[in-house]
Amino acid sequence: MIKALLEYSFLQNAVIAALFSSVICGIIGVVIVEKKLLMMSGGIAHTAYGGVGLGYLLGFEPMLGAGIFSVAAALIIGKIRRKNAKNSDVVIGLLWSLGMASGILFTELMTGYPPDMNSYLFGNILSVTTSDLYMIITLTVIVLLVIAVFFNDWKAFLFDERFCAIVGMKTALLEYLLLIITALSVVALIRVAGIILVIALLSAPAACAGFISKTLKGRMITAAVLSALFCLVGITVSYYSGLPSGAVIVFVCSITYFLLSAVCRKI
């Protein structure tokens, strides 16, 4: 594997993408799991499919379309959550379905042969291009900067949102920032695990880290390390077996979570 890594640029891109994506999984995954926002993340991810389809239809970068649709969905969900939390699940479900339906319709409206959408749906880290890599690195840096600047506020916000509001913290700003960086994280992970499988990659490493570390920073670091290991295992298995990389990564991280859960419950 090491020899192949030195020879083939696509493997180098895959490993770099895995490492930077793992940083996002470690940071945002822990926040999402702690705030119980997995369904919201799934809704944002599936909405991105509409942006991918629109990008192909109108002739611009599909991942840019995914980013626009994801951020728009995140802001809509945030607005509904703050106004009427009872309807947020309905909105998330509708955006989830609308995004997938839009993506299908947009690609069907294209002239000529429709593009292969499997890599967007299920991920293929071995097909990450240099432009994809630049996008992943850029989004990772943005997420890191936002978390670093507001880290102490995030700790308080995750612990007790109501208390933060009482003492005058700008909880609305924190919530919208969380939703936006979650949307950007989803876009960064689409090429790794795909729209359909991205929820597992965001949740499993973070949930596994909860068994190992109890501090917020410790869980983020542990989740990032675990995510990197899962991705590297997935790349290796996929390279030698020809199995889909996204599915292998998600399979490995999910099985690891169930094993850790079973072991920790017995201890």
Q: Which of 242, 202, 245, 209 is nearest to 225 (CA)?
A: 209
Residue-range definition of the domain harbouring residue 23: 2-261
Residue 88 lies in a domain: yes
Give the end-to-end CA distance of the chain in Å, rounded to a whole number: 37
The per-residue pLDDT of the chain, averaged, comes to 82
Q: CATH number, domain at 193?
A: 1.10.3470.10
Tell me which DSSP letter residue 37 carries. Answer: -
Residue 267 lies in a domain: no
Looking at the predicted structure, is the pLDDT value of residue 114 above 80? no
Instruction: Kindly report the backbone phi and psi dihedral angles of residue 48, in degrees, each rounded to the nearest multiple of 5, phi listed first.
Output: -60, -25
Residue 57 lies in a domain: yes
Residue 65 lies in a domain: yes
- The total number of structural domains that make up the chain: 1
Q: Which of helix, strand or coil describes residue 60?
A: coil
Residue 266 lies in a domain: no
Looking at the predicted structure, is the pLDDT value of residue 52 above 80? yes
Contact, 98 vs 44, CB < 8 A? no
Q: How confident is the model at residue 226 (pLDDT cuts 50, 70, 90)?
A: very high
Is residue 266 left, alpha or beta, with left meaning phi > 0 and alpha meaning psi from -120 to 50?
A: alpha
- The arithmetic mean of pLDDT across residues 40-45, rounded, is 84
Q: How confident is the model at residue 240 (pLDDT cuts 50, 70, 90)?
A: confident
Kindly report whether the global pTM for this prediction surpasses the value 0.85.
Answer: no
Q: What pLDDT digit, counting tens, does each position of 243-259 carry?
A: 888 888 889 988 999 99
Residue 32 lies in a domain: yes
